[in-house]
């Protein structure tokens, strides 16, 4: 559905690329996660795909049609949730959605229903400027689906939200996928990537370093770990050890022989750890 090949972008229009040689394909109805630390080039990539940045070098096509030839028709089927929430502070939540609904020439969602779905029903008639940060963010998220997009770009949709709100948003994303939407999801939060995404791409310093289903990535790169809690000489201890490193295996045997093990369970590798393994960097905040 979305095909990107050899994408480059330089803000300074020289050799300092913020995105370099990025290629990937997203299938219809897929949730594709773009995972990387802050400054990796995720938003830059999303902005090129949504037409906010000019396509300097490389090819992007949607359903086989080059992005350059899409025109404004494309916007009728595209939804974009920006990293930096951008609503009219002087308009109410309802007015914000009603205004944006009027900009499309396709059937749109009922603003009130949409507000209810993100928990802003009660605050619908308050000005967005009076919303808390989380509410403001949710309004932004709601706006991105006002035109029932079948291509949906989400830039850090859960960043800075409390867990309950983040769950609600994840639920909506899944429901939209069920309804047939293709989702491009940018995040530095490995939990949301792991839970939601059919496939994830790791991006670091503008380059793709790995791309696959979360499960395949874990099997390929991840090492299985064990977490042991023990007591030795009256002192409690807790260690996480890899099952593939010789040094750790020796250590594990030593603990089993010399200490009283209280609990021991194996842990699956996390996307976080795989990212560190591949790039030497934490996804972090």
Ligand X SMILES: Nc1ncnc2c1ncn2[C@@H]1O[C@H](COP(=O)(O)OP(=O)(O)O)[C@@H](O)[C@H]1O
Binding site for ligand X (CB under 6 A): 11, 18, 36, 38-44
Instruction: Output Rg (C-alpha) for the chain, integer angstroms.
Output: 22
Among residues 159 and 264, whose Cβ is nearest to other proteins? 159
Examine residue 187 and tell whether it contacts Mg ion (CB under 5 A): no
Among residues 123 and 201, whose Cβ is nearest to ligand X? 201
Site for other proteins in 42-61 (CB under 8 A): 50-54
Examine residue 8 and tell whether it contacts other proteins (CB under 8 A): no
Q: How far is CA 214 from the centre of its chain?
A: 13
x/- contact string, 147-176, with other proteins (CB under 8 A)? x-----------------------------
Among residues 36 and 111, whose Cβ is nearest to ligand X? 36
Token pair for 15:
């050799």
Contacts with 1 (C-beta within 8 Å, 6 or more apart), sequence order: 26, 27, 28, 30, 62, 63, 151, 182
x/- contact string, 203-222, with Mg ion (CB under 5 A)? --------------------
Task: Report the C-alpha gap between 138 and 66 in whole angstroms.
Answer: 32
Task: Report the C-alpha gap between 223 and 221 in whole angstroms.
Answer: 7
Residue in 33, 71, 17 with CA at minimum distance from that of residue 198: 33
Examine residue 43 and tell whether it contacts Mg ion (CB under 5 A): yes
Provide, rounded to whole angstroms, the least separation between the CB of residue 34 and other proteins.
Answer: 18
Examine residue 65 and tell whether it contacts other proteins (CB under 8 A): no
DSSP codes joined into one string, 181-237: -EEEEEES-HHHHHHH-SEEEEEETTEEEEEE-HHHHHHHH---EEEEEEEETTEEE
Token pair for 37:
């630390």
Task: Report the C-alpha gap between 155 and 1 in whole angstroms.
Answer: 19
Please count the CA atoms within 13 angstroms of the CA of 91 that sit on its side-chain side: 13
**Which option in Mg ion, ligand X, other proteins, none does residue 40 bind, with CB closer than 5 to 8 A by kind?**
ligand X
Provide, rounded to whole angstroms, the least separation between the CB of residue 156 and Mg ion.
Answer: 6
**Which option in other proteins, ligand X, Mg ion, none does residue 88 bind, with CB closer than 5 to 8 A by kind?**
other proteins
Examine residue 104 and tell whether it contacts other proteins (CB under 8 A): yes
Q: Which residues pair with 201 in a beta bridge?
A: 34, 211
Provide, rounded to whole angstroms, the least separation between the CB of residue 30 and ligand X.
Answer: 20
Say if CB 59 and CB 66 are below 8 A apart: yes
**Which option in ligand X, other proteins, Mg ion, none does residue 178 bind, with CB closer than 5 to 8 A by kind?**
none
**Which option in Mg ion, ligand X, other proteins, none does residue 36 bind, with CB closer than 5 to 8 A by kind?**
ligand X
Contacts with 219 (C-beta within 8 Å, 6 or more apart), sequence order: none
Binding site for other proteins (CB under 8 A): 50-54, 72-73, 75-76, 78, 80, 82, 84-91, 95, 98-100, 102-105, 143, 147
Binding site for Mg ion (CB under 5 A): 42-43, 83
């Amino acid at each position: 559905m979305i095909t990107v090949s050899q994408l480059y972008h330089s803000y300074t229009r020289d050799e300092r690329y913020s995105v370099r040689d990025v290629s990937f394909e997203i299938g219809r109805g897929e949730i594709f996660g773009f995972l990387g630390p802050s400054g990796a080039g995720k938003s830059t990539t999303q902005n090129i795909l949504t037409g906010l940045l000019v396509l300097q070098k490389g090819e992007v096509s949607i359903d086989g049609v080059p992005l350059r030839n899409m025109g404004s028709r494309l916007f009728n089927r595209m939804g974009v949730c920006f990293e930096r929430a951008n609503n009219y502070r002087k308009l109410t939540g309802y007015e914000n959605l009603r205004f944006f609904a009027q900009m499309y020439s396709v059937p749109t969602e009922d603003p009130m229903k949409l507000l209810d779905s993100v928990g802003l029903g009660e605050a619908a008639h308050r000005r967005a400027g009076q919303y808390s940060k989380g509410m403001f963010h949710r309004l932004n998220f709601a706006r991105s689906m006002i035109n029932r997009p079948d291509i949906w770009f989400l830039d850090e949709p859960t960043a800075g939200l409390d867990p309950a709100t983040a769950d609600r948003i994840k639920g909506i994303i899944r429901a939209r996928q069920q309804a047939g939407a293709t989702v491009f999801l940018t995040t530095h939060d490995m939990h949301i990537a792991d839970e939601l995404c059919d496939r994830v791409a790791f991006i670091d310093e503008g380059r793709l370093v790995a791309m696959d289903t979360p499960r395949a990535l874990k099997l390929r790169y991840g090492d299985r770990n064990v977490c042991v809690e023990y007591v030795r000489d009256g002192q409690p201890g807790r260690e996480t050890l890899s099952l593939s490193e010789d040094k750790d295996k020796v250590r594990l045997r030593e603990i089993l022989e010399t200490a009283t093990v209280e609990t021991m369970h194996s842990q699956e590798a996390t996307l976080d750890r795989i990212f560190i393994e591949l790039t030497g960097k934490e996804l972090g905040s």
